[in-house]
Amino acid sequence: MHTVTAHGANIPALGFGTFRMPDAEVHSILPQALKLGFRHVDTAQIYKNEAAVGDVIAKSGIARSDIFLTTKVWVDKVGHQAFIASVDESLAKLKTDYVDLLLLHWPQSEMPLADRMGALNELRQAGKVKNIGISNFSTALMDEAVRLSEAPVVNNQIEYHPYLDQTKVIDKAHETDMSVTGYYLMADGAVPKDEVLKDIGSRHGKTAAQVVLRWAVSQKGVIALSKTSTASRLSENYDIFDFTLSPEDMDAIHKLARPDGRIVNPRHLAPEWDR
């Protein structure tokens, strides 16, 4: 598996996401993902499965240093001490002294962005966090986060799939050597049924889902999160590095973007998106 490098962080380009995955599923499927070769695991405080993720990693037999672990601070952690304490709690649940990447989960919070970026920097200086980043940030807020941070902002995790054009965010990330992690790549189940994607897949002996994961990681600085609760799909999601999409394939996938393509848009959390 290849990696994406941003400000010295080497991030496996294909990650295993645990959004909406209860503890039982984490205990069932994550060990198989790690055995298969996944080395990038993504969780969050709000997923309420950090403890299960920590259990699996601790029991995996894989060196902690060989796993890139990401978690995210939820927006209700308001005030410096509450923010820091929440991360200490996350580390305890994850059974680790540090996470490789800590993200602000959404931009809207009662805690000012300057204070949250300051807390991220303090955690990094304390060695509890190797790298810091943001999630669901617009280009304007990306600029603001970079301006407010002494340490480099390594990643912006965003909704990304063929139906949502994120060119502006990705281009903005390139300006400051920031990486982008795409979530919701299957577009809530639309991807596997898409005739254009199935046709491209048939020419490569791959599924539409594999085509989209490959499309994502073929782009400069882009990391893809895959997620499944079905063991049989694990190997499918992982097996995306043995074929190459042509420029024509890439272009055809990009052309699927549409103005109403965004799926995740909670008004109380989201920024004013780029148009």
Report pLDDT digits (tens) over 74-123.
999 999 999 999 999 999 999 999 999 999 999 999 999 999 999 999 99
Q: Which residue has the tokens 């809207």?
A: 108
Nearest to residue 181, comparing CAs of 140, 130, 217? 217
3-189+217-242 maps to CATH 3.30.540.10: no
Q: Is the pLDDT of residue 229 over 80?
A: yes
Structure tokens at 80: 């410096």
Looking at residue 103, its amino acid is: L
pLDDT one-digit tens code per residue, 144-190: 999 999 999 999 999 999 999 999 999 999 999 999 999 999 999 99
Say what the pLDDT of residue 243 is: 98
For 199, residues 6+ apart whose C-beta sits below 8 A from its C-beta are none
- pTM of the entire structure? 0.98
CA atoms of 11 and 144, how far apart (whole Å)? 24
Phi-psi domain of 77 (left: phi exceeds 0; alpha: psi -120 through 50; beta: other): beta
Strands 40-42 and 14-17: parallel
Alpha carbons 262 and 14: distance in angstroms, whole number: 22
The whole-angstrom separation of Cα 90 and Cα 48 is 10
- What pLDDT is attached to residue 232? 87
**What average pLDDT does the chain have?**
98
Percent of the chain with pLDDT over 90: 99
Paired tokens of 137: 């940030």
Under a CB-based contact definition with an 8 Å cutoff, are residues 159 and 187 in contact? no
105 annotated ligand-binding residue: yes
SS3 annotation, 187-224: HHHCHHHCHHHHHHHHHHCCCHHHHHHHHHHCCCCEEE
Catalytic residues: 47
**pLDDT tens track for 183-223:** 999 999 999 999 999 999 999 999 999 999 999 999 999 99
Distance CA(101)–CA(6), nearest Å, equals 12
* Nearest-5° Cα angle at 129, 123 to 133: 90
Q: What is the pLDDT of residue 192?
A: 97
